[in-house]
């Protein structure tokens, strides 16, 4: 208890002692030693009160462009953490951040700058998307598959899926190379790209996604099933053969997995009714699931699959289910199957 309290007091003292005008002056100093001291003072304060350091972003950006200094990694780390605090404050620095990364692909600082860009892209993807090609070029030069780079592509794909189309081969290779490490961002980006009006990526990643539908990691499992649903939205035939494997996820202990599997089968069945056959009994059983979003998605799958044997149970849900989304989808499904 004493140790915890002492640490808290010390941290509070550090933040209270942060002299912004003095730090800004040090950053303007032509002496690299003084500039490094200022950056380290910023780092100490960011840990406790990052908002105090936001006015230093323009000067940190300027220092990043100085090739003669040897503490770019500390500057990059500061910018990344400030971007997580306030993406809007770092967004005006994106041009310089990308420029440094493009000129120094394998520099240790570039990893933190990719984290910085990902933080900006979560709130201001418009500030980053015009640099998508340059970012891809950086990722192609870095060793292995950069975790923050993949997350950045996934963040951009939310609003600008077409922008990550040139990166589809990299995303596919990253997924195949290490699905446990790279799967979540790669599947997210590939799924959004496949669902969009952009050119569809090559679909060899479908098998890699199918292999993950029963993975122990819930986030990875749900992203894999969701990605298959995105593919099925535009190309149900590419996923139809995987429906027996996806159907096993309908029995998962995770309600989100059950819901994702049901809606993925529904999307396939929208283009191929027979896709529900391996899952027919499981889908009917899900009409009694404790979770409304699972019941609602089961209604969709049974409706698209034309499962007339479920008509009576669907009619009961349409009239009596306490959740309005379930009632609506059940009523729709009744019209489809009768």
Supply the pLDDT for residue 4: 44
Average pLDDT, rounded, for the chain: 94
Dihedral sign from CA coordinates of 30, 35, 38, 39: positive
Residue with tokens 């201001």: 124
Q: Is 334 helix (H, G, I), strand (E, B) or coil?
A: helix
At 180-233, the pLDDT tens digits run 999 999 999 999 999 998 777 789 899 999 999 999 999 999 999 999 999 999
Closest CA to 243 of 200, 201, 272: 272
Q: What span, in angstroms and rounded, lies between the C-alpha atoms of 210 and 221?
A: 9
* Tokens, residue 239: 């996923």
Q: What span, in angstroms and rounded, lies between the C-alpha atoms of 65 and 98?
A: 11
Q: What span, in angstroms and rounded, lies between the C-alpha atoms of 199 and 165?
A: 7
CB-count exposure of residue 332 (10 Å: 0-12, 13-18, 19+): middle
Q: What span, in angstroms and rounded, lies between the C-alpha atoms of 79 and 73?
A: 10
Q: Which domains does the chain have, with CATH numbers?
A: 12-129 (1.25.10.10)
Closest CA to 190 of 221, 167, 222, 217: 167
Assess contact for 95 and 64: CB atoms under 8 A.
no
Closest CA to 91 of 108, 99, 79, 106: 79
Supply the pLDDT for residue 197: 83
At 223-278, the pLDDT tens digits run 999 999 999 999 999 999 999 999 999 999 999 999 999 999 999 999 998 999 99
Supply the pLDDT for residue 73: 97
Supply the pLDDT for residue 7: 44
Q: Is 288 helix (H, G, I), strand (E, B) or coil?
A: coil
At 56-97, the pLDDT tens digits run 999 999 999 999 999 999 999 999 999 999 999 999 999 999
Supply the pLDDT for residue 6: 44
At 266-325, the pLDDT tens digits run 999 999 989 999 999 999 999 999 999 999 999 999 999 999 999 999 999 999 999 999
Residue 330 makes CB contacts below 8 A (sequence gap 6+) with 299, 314, 315, 317, 318, 321
Supply the pLDDT for residue 14: 58
pLDDT bracket for residue 2 (50, 70, 90)? very low
Supply the pLDDT for residue 144: 86
Assess contact for 11 and 41: CB atoms under 8 A.
no
Q: Report the chain's C-alpha Rg in angstroms.
A: 25
Q: What span, in angstroms and rounded, lies between the C-alpha atoms of 289 and 255?
A: 9
Residue 4 makes CB contacts below 8 A (sequence gap 6+) with none
At 8-28, the pLDDT tens digits run 444 455 566 899 999 999 999
Mean pLDDT of 115-127: 98
Closest CA to 145 of 101, 183, 113: 183
Whether the full predicted model's pTM is greater than 0.85, yes or no, is: yes
CB-count exposure of residue 31 (10 Å: 0-12, 13-18, 19+): exposed
Q: What span, in angstroms and rounded, lies between the C-alpha atoms of 143 and 3?
A: 41
Supply the pLDDT for residue 8: 44
Residue 154 makes CB contacts below 8 A (sequence gap 6+) with 184, 185, 186, 188, 189
Assess contact for 49 and 81: CB atoms under 8 A.
no
């Amino acid at each position: 208890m004493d140790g915890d309290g002492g640490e808290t007091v010390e941290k509070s003292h550090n933040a209270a002692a942060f002299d912004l005008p003095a730090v800004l002056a040090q950053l303007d100093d032509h002496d690299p030693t003084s500039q490094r001291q200022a950056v380290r003072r910023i780092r100490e304060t960011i840990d406790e009160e990052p908002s105090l350091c936001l006015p230093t972003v323009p000067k940190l950006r300027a220092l990043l462009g100085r090739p003669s200094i040897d503490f770019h990694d500390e500057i990059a780390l500061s910018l990344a953490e400030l971007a997580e605090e306030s993406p809007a404050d770092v967004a005006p620095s994106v041009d310089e951040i990308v420029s440094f990364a493009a000129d120094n692909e394998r520099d240790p600082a570039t990893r933190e700058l990719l984290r910085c860009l990902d933080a900006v892209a979560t709130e201001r993807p418009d500030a980053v998307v015009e640099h998508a090609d340059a970012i891809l070029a950086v990722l192609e030069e870095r060793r292995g598959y950069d975790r923050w780079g993949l997350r950045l592509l996934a963040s951009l794909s939310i609003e600008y899926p077409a922008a990550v189309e040139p990166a589809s081969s990299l995303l596919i290779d990253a997924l195949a190379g290490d699905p446990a490490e790279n799967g979540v961002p790669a599947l997210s980006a590939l799924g959004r790209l496949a669902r969009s009006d952009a050119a569809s990526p090559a679909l060899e990643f479908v098998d890699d996604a199918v292999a993950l539908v029963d993975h122990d990691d819930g986030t990875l499992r749900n992203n894999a099933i969701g990605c298959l649903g995105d593919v099925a939205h535009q190309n149900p035939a590419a996923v139809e053969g995987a429906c027996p494997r996806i159907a096993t996820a309908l029995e998962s202990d995770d309600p989100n997995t059950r819901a994702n599997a049901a809606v993925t089968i529904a999307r396939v069945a929208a283009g191929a009714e027979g896709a529900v056959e391996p899952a027919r009994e499981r889908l009917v059983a899900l009409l009694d699931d404790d979770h409304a979003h699972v019941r609602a998605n089961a209604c969709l799958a049974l409706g698209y699959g034309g499962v007339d044997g479920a008509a009576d149970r669907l009619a009961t849900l349409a009239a009596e289910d306490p959740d309005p989304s379930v009632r609506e989808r059940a009523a729709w499904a009744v019209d489809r199957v009768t």
